Structure 1
Amino acid sequence: MASPEYEHRKSDLLNAARELFFVQGYEKTSVSDIIQKVGVAKGSFYYYFTSKEEILDTLIDDIALQGIEKVRDIVANSSLNALCKLNRVFKIARDWKLENRHMMQDTLRVLYDDKNLIIRHKLAQRNIALAVPEVASIIRQGIAEGMFNAVNPDDTAELIVFLGTALNDIFARYLLEMDAHPDHIMILKAKTASYESAIVRILGAPENSIKAVPLSFFEDMLAVR
């Protein structure tokens, strides 16, 4: 078991790397930049991490795992049917965005800067890898309950998560342009409705049973900017 001092120093390095990656970009940040910010010797860095890439991967894991734990709690809840579980998973994502809406635009501006392309890509891939097994578990339950008639739960889950990732990407880009293009909110509502309709058909679920994003969500997101 790692000592408190070990964990504290590792956390310092991770926090410094996160700040530098977001401000300067991953490519322009060196190991020397990280250790200088923390105030440790270069050898100390390599005691905790083998490379700059490893510290990025650790950061990505930390960020992605924060969200998936709540999803796993929902999946493990035996009192919920599959449809309820899936809608609650969507609600987790909505609630997080709403709770952090005051800083959402600044965060997205950093992530969608060209210099942070590798961070955005790695985070999306890690989120997909973690989410697909959980969604597949919900789909299997839904098939057993007679709610869904999907043929292959794993492939179906992958498709749903990929579509959700694409919708999140559209949402982020449109939100960043909202001041110049206020009509984007209507486009987002239409795309969200199409996404919900697509999931219903992919799953063979009852019509209008999937509520990924209520129409009021976008107004709520823009309320504090």
Structure 2
Amino acid sequence: MMMMMMKGHLSLTLLLLLVLCSQCGAKSLGDDDDNKTQEVKTAVVKCADDTEKRWQQELEKAVSTLKNELEEQRKREQVAFGASLGPRGGYTGPFNGVVTLVYSVVFTNAGEAYNPTTGIFTAPMKGVYYFSFSGYNYSTRDMGLLLWKNAVHMVMAHNHGQSWVSGSRWESGSNSITLVLQKGDQVYMRLRASSWVYDNSNHHSNFNGHLLFPLQTR
């Protein structure tokens, strides 16, 4: 639409230019000098055509550049990951202190913002992000899963181990949170001291996150 409007304005401008140049040529060369007047008209039309072609090329170049920039921006905003502790089987923990969990089996990692070697997600841009996590454990054992942003504990999922409960069973816990992150902020999962979390090839214990929408940096 914008291109059509610009072409319309350009064509009108060129038409007016042609009329004015024709009148000027007629006055300076005389009404009976048809050949000279025609030469002037031909030169003006050629100049107008060349000018319109240059404008057209510049406009097409600008539109192409804008489309490429928008496509690059769209790709940068595709940030999502999902991973599990892995099919190795058995428990992780207990430990004497809090440890960072590494979810090494990656289902998706659009944008490569999650590091499966360290278990840390690093925000590639300022924006609003959503995270969720789940853990699997036996009811007689404690499970404490902590989601951290940078060095701050944000939310937790906790199953209290109760050996006295009759009919002991497998249980799961989960939680989620929406966070505003700055570029470079880090989000990761930690296992509480003296607690366990279990996983196997069924991938019970997961860590997931994705960008909801970017925010402008002031």
Q: Provide the TM-score with structure 2 as the length reference.
A: 0.24
Q: Which has the higher strand share?
A: 2
| TM-score normalised over the length of structure 1 | 0.24
Q: Going by fraction, where is helix more abundant, 1 or 2?
A: 1
Tell me which of the two structures has the higher relative contact order, counting C-alpha pairs closer than 8 angstroms and 6 or more residues apart. 2
